[in-house]
């Protein structure tokens, strides 16, 4: 799979998203959820949170960092929620993507969300490894939420 398809337009790494991990690992029943996701691009989504507020996504730009109006009010609201709940800044992620390129950013995210115990995948939303169940918040460790 092309891993760039696991980078949400808003700056979220889908590889650490609860819905994606539930789908990938078929953990619906075990985790108590009914559905998952294969990633925003794969499902041809135009960002579930921003699509109704942005006419540029999917037409003129692929990622919010390509927009000359970044950050818009909708992205700031989404970013604020992610910083408070999950200790990650989507705007910070977008800035980093622009700075180092998408491929390098993906490598950083894969390393960030790798479980220090088993090497499995940590969920950004649950702060838990979906392989060994270790509770771990990598964003607090790296000093995210700025």
> What DSSP string runs through 16-52?
G-HHHHHHHHT-HHHHT-S---S-TTTTT-S-TTTGG
The C-alpha atoms of residue 86 and residue 21 are separated, in whole angstroms, by 16
Residues 6+ apart with CB under 8 A from 92: 11, 144, 146
pLDDT over 70 (residue 21): yes
The pLDDT tens digits of the residues spanning 108-145 come to 999 999 999 999 999 999 999 999 999 999 988 766 54
Neighbour tally for 101: CB within 10 Å: 11
CA distances from 76 to 2, 9, 29 (A): 28, 14, 34
Tens digits of residue pLDDT in 57-95: 666 778 889 888 888 888 899 999 999 999 999 999 999
Buried b (16+ CB within 10 A) or exposed e, 51-84: eeebebbeeeeebbbebeebbeebbeebbeebbe
> Considering the entire predicted model, what is its pTM?
0.85
């Amino acid at each position: 799979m092309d891993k760039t398809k696991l980078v949400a337009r808003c700056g979220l790494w889908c590889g650490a998203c609860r819905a994606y991990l539930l789908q990938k690992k078929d953990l619906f029943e075990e985790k108590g959820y009914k559905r998952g996701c294969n990633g925003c691009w794969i499902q041809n989504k135009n960002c579930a949170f921003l699509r109704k507020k942005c006419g540029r996504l999917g037409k003129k730009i692929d990622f919010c960092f390509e927009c000359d109006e970044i950050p818009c009010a909708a992205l700031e609201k989404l970013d604020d929620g992610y910083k408070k709940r999950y200790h990650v800044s989507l705007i910070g992620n977008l800035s980093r993507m622009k700075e180092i390129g998408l491929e390098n950013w993906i490598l950083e995210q894969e390393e960030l969300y790798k479980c220090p115990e088993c090497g499995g995948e940590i969920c950004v939303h649950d702060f838990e490894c979906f392989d060994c169940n270790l509770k771990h918040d990598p964003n607090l460790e790296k000093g995210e939420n700025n």
